[in-house]
């Protein structure tokens, strides 16, 4: 997602940074996701996505943030959270919205679809909650 945003000219005046927090430790250390959440609910859940947004807002001193967490593929033995199970979140310091995705593509298409849908969720959030 960062590449999509920063490919636009002058994006540096609006984009503070991003983090790829692929494992539990990175989510905890960089975005302040609670260890207990990861242990009890896992990385792919609504609570984790919300905490990732809250952590990004703080870490990057941002007005808005977006986060994704999901199982992109290849297939695993996890029947509870099959490939394509994704949570996206967007928000500001006042409110965070989430959406669960159930994608049925291969890894690459799941990643692309997640990024597009997450950026769209952020876009919608900003439009609906801009208080300037």
109-127 pLDDT tens trace? 999 999 999 999 999 999 9
Q: Are 32 and 55 in contact (CB under 8 A)?
A: yes
Dist. CA 42–CA 30, nearest whole Å:
17
Burial of 8 (0-12, 13-18, 19+ CB in 10 A): exposed
pTM: 0.92
Least Cα distance to 69 among 91, 54, 53, 93 occurs for: 53
What DSSP line would sit under 66-103, residue for residue?
EEEEE--SS--S-SSS-TTEEEEEEE-SS-EEEEEEE-
Angle at 102 between CA 36 and CA 35, to 5 degrees: 10
Dist. CA 17–CA 14, nearest whole Å:
9
Least Cα distance to 50 among 66, 71, 28, 35 occurs for: 66
pLDDT band at 7 (very low <50, low <70, confident <90, very high): confident
Residue pLDDT, tens place only, 33-92: 999 999 999 999 999 999 999 999 999 999 999 999 999 988 766 667 899 999 999 999
Dist. CA 49–CA 100, nearest whole Å:
10
| Cα dist from 57 to 12, 51, 96, 109, whole Å | 16, 10, 11, 27
């Amino acid at each position: 997602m960062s590449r999509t945003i920063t490919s636009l000219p002058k994006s540096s005046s609006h984009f503070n940074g991003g983090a790829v927090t692929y494992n539990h430790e990175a989510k905890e250390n960089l975005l302040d996701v609670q260890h207990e959440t990861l242990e009890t609910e896992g990385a792919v859940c609504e609570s984790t996505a919300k905490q990732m947004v809250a952590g990004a807002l703080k870490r990057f001193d941002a007005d808005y943030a977006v986060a994704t967490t999901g199982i992109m593929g290849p297939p695993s033995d996890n029947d509870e959270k099959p490939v394509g199970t994704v949570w996206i979140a967007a928000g500001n310091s006042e409110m965070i919205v989430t959406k669960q995705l159930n994608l049925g593509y291969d890894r690459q298409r799941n990643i692309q679809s997640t990024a597009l849908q997450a950026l769209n969720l952020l876009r919608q959030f900003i439009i609906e909650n801009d208080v300037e």
